[in-house]
Amino acid sequence: MSSWSGKLAALLPRVLVVAHDLLMVWICWTGLVYLRYSYVQGIVERPWFSTEHLIVLLAQGLVFWMMGLYRGLWRFASVADLWNIARACALGLIGIGIGLFLYNRLDGVPRAALALYVPTLVMLLSAPRVLYRAWKDRRLAINLDQPRSRVLVLGAGAAGEALVRDMRRDGRYRPIGFLDDQPKLQRARLQGLPVLGPLERLPQVASEVAAELVVIAIPTATPEQMQRIVALCERARLPFRTVPRLSDVLGGRVAPGELKSVAIEDLLGREPVAPDWVPVREWLAGRSVLITGAGGSIGSELCRQVARLGVRRLQVLDQSELALENIVRSLRATFPGLEIDAVLGDCGDAVMVAHALQRSQADTVMHAAAYKHVPVLEVQLRAAIRNNVLATEVVARASANAGVGTFVLISTDKAVNPANVLGASKRWAELVCQSLATQFATRFVTVRFGNVLDSAGSVVPLFREQIRAGGPVTVTDPEVSRYFMTIPEACQLILQAATLAPHEAIYTLDMGEPVRIRDLAEQMIRLSERGGREQISIVYTGLRPGEKLHEVLFHPDEKYQRTAHPRIFQAEQRPVSAQQVAAWLDEARAMVGCHDEAGLVQLIHRVVPEYETIGSDHCTYTESTT
């Protein structure tokens, strides 16, 4: 009995909506016909219900049902719902006309009633829905038990309008007005709120209206625009948040409708150029892919992106059991239908790598595993050679022997005129892949790029931790600069470059303009919760061994040329002897085996003659920022 009562209670609102709409149809038709005859003949006697009314109700009701009018909720009535009502009314009129023509050849049906039927019925059906939604929104917005923050919205566009509607439904915020630079919007009103001026007036307006929070509703703002807006928010001495980009929502990095803090990538990133996903999807869909270093920053993002592109099987390899477990758990939660094969092991283990490739039957291998921390590798040459060079040769050769179609080596801009062990070892790994390409049918693709924002071991997590501890923030030199790219964009361009490659190629990603690390530190201090309340000092410690003042992306002898993608350049490879590379590898294996680091130093200089070690005296001085 209780189950039946529950079903009836759930069905009742829909029955009432159907009854309301049919009543509106009856009122519309009866009223229009009555008014037409009354205007011509004076007071007339006509039946309130007849076969004609039955045909009208049946035809229009059937169209309403077929158009899905009763699958929506009045609580969330929108412009799309009103447009659906208008289409249903128009199609209903056609059905009514056909029905009445078959019944009585439209005898006694006023043409004026037919002409006015659609707009009149649209108004009768839409008005109650709009009024109901406005009433519900108003009730949700009034919450006397919960204090509401007074919010000033920057940006009076579509994002700002949607934000205000969401705030009113949320109940925690009270939007009080907009600021926007567009002249045509000055003194206009949006959602009943005024546009109070251009963005430059933020400090003054915020004081006048007693704003407590600023929300940046300009998801298309460039980094330069975001820097200007953040500076204005700092002058107003108000906390600020921003609406997330659509890509962040779709990528699962931000929940829909959630306000997020302004991140450093919002200020230092670049306008992303979307990859051409069609060839990438055609290349990867239905294939088996092996990714080494799958638990790292780049490796894990590559895993997520290739999973979205429809790979059949994804084999993930990492020597860290915790990192491997984390990426497998994340992938299984997000892609429950994907076949995932986890392999715990060292890429230098030839038996393990060959077995993994035999098990996965991989079509593509992406080699992201590497040691990459510059200061550590400067004093760990043997480990760098063993992991970045010899292990790369193991994975690359095993891939070629297994008939893998494409092998992608993730390299670095530090391989161009290397000044440290990381760059030199990565350049050697590039030579290994180049030599193997002359011996096997496998495509060998090398992709170089610079620093990745917020990757493990980068300056961003270090600065964040130093700021959280109250400072100081350590920077090596006031003028040191680096190229930066976000993790998702770097991985997208890696996949795009791999689809462009002929049999062998080296690609360099366009990293935009270099960023001074000093500016990066200052921006992060400004964005931090502590930055506005106390001074956090920046300490300059001097360049570390192996660290350049400025990185370069292009080698003068490689004659770069543009590709089909505006952010990807292809290098003309310098000639290399496969026999010479093999001899160097034999020497390296022998020296690693007997821990001969002195011999490795001489060998790496012979392999990469442009490698010049850089050392510096350490100096320390400080300055503070707010």
Three-class DSSP labels, 197-215: CCHHHHHHHHHHCCCCEEE
Kindly list the distances between the CA atom of residue 161 and the CA atoms of 167, 217, 240, in Å, as whole numbers in the listed order: 10, 9, 18
Position 352 scores a pLDDT of 96
Domain final residue pick, 120, 140, 160? 140
> Which residue, chain included where needed, has tokens 């009763």?
70
Lowest mean pLDDT, pick from 110-114, 332-336, 462-466 = 462-466
Position 91 scores a pLDDT of 93
Overall number of domains in the chain: 3
Lowest mean pLDDT, pick from 3-17, 545-559, 588-602 = 3-17
More confident residue, 389 or 476: 389
Position 77 scores a pLDDT of 59
Position 504 scores a pLDDT of 79
Is the pLDDT at 327 greater than 80? The verdict is yes
In a domain, 427, yes or no: yes
Banded model confidence at residue 268, pLDDT cuts 50, 70, 90: low
Q: Rounded mean pLDDT of 591-618?
A: 83
For 494, counting Cβ atoms within 10 Å of its Cβ (0-12 exposed, 13-18 middle, 19+ buried), the class is buried
Is the pLDDT at 284 greater than 50? The verdict is yes
Position 145 scores a pLDDT of 46
Domain final residue pick, 73, 107, 140? 140
DSSP annotation of 540 reads: E
Specify whether 97 is located in the same domain as 204: no
Question: pLDDT for 206-253, tens place per residue?
Answer: 888 888 888 888 877 777 788 888 888 888 888 888 877 655 555 555
Position 251 scores a pLDDT of 53
Closest CA to 198 of 174, 179, 214, 216: 179
Cβ proximity of 410 and 508 under 8 Å: no
In a domain, 267, yes or no: no
Specify whether 45 is located in the same domain as 186: no
Specify whether 549 is located in the same domain as 527: yes
Position 538 scores a pLDDT of 87
Contacts 24+ apart (CB under 8 A), 453-456: 453/264, 453/265, 453/268, 453/269, 453/484, 453/485, 453/486, 453/487, 454/264, 454/265, 454/297, 454/486, 454/487, 455/296, 455/297, 455/298, 455/487, 456/296, 456/297
In a domain, 626, yes or no: no
Is the pLDDT at 273 greater than 70? The verdict is no
Kindly list the distances between the CA atom of residue 29 and the CA atoms of 38, 47, 53, in Å, as whole numbers in the listed order: 14, 12, 8
Is the pLDDT at 529 greater than 90? The verdict is no
Cα gap 244→255, rounded to integer Å? 9
More confident residue, 577 or 546: 577
Is the pLDDT at 608 greater than 60? The verdict is yes
Cβ proximity of 425 and 592 under 8 Å: no
In a domain, 84, yes or no: yes
What average pLDDT does the structure give for the chain? 82
Specify whether 292 is located in the same domain as 390: yes
Question: pLDDT for 458-514, tens place per residue?
Answer: 677 778 788 877 778 888 888 888 777 778 888 888 898 888 877 778 888 777 777
Banded model confidence at residue 622, pLDDT cuts 50, 70, 90: very low
Specify whether 109 is located in the same domain as 233: no
In a domain, 470, yes or no: yes
Banded model confidence at residue 169, pLDDT cuts 50, 70, 90: confident
Q: Rounded mean pLDDT of 561-573?
A: 79
> Which residue, chain included where needed, has tokens 């929070």?
213
Across the strands, what pairs with 339?
313
Specify whether 387 is located in the same domain as 524: yes
Q: Rounded mean pLDDT of 129-138?
A: 73
Position 142 scores a pLDDT of 53
Kindly list the distances between the CA atom of residue 490 and the CA atoms of 299, 327, 410, 483, 485, in Å, as whole numbers in the listed order: 11, 18, 10, 12, 6
* Domain span at 121: 11-140
In a domain, 234, yes or no: yes
Domain final residue pick, 211, 231, 262? 262
Is the pLDDT at 334 greater than 50? The verdict is yes
Position 624 scores a pLDDT of 40
Specify whether 444 is located in the same domain as 311: yes
Q: What is the CATH number of the domain that holds 172?
A: 3.40.50.720
Specify whether 492 is located in the same domain as 594: yes
Specify whether 511 is located in the same domain as 386: yes
Position 620 scores a pLDDT of 38
Question: pLDDT for 340-363, tens place per residue?
Answer: 999 999 999 999 999 999 999 999
DSSP annotation of 96 reads: H
Specify whether 30 is located in the same domain as 84: yes
Banded model confidence at residue 411, pLDDT cuts 50, 70, 90: very high
Is the pLDDT at 530 greater than 80? The verdict is no
In a domain, 49, yes or no: yes
Specify whether 458 is located in the same domain as 377: yes
Position 445 scores a pLDDT of 92
Cα gap 395→290, rounded to integer Å? 11
Cα gap 118→87, rounded to integer Å? 9
In a domain, 77, yes or no: yes
More confident residue, 7 or 601: 601
Specify whether 384 is located in the same domain as 409: yes
Sign of the Cα torsion 530, 536, 540, 541 reads negative
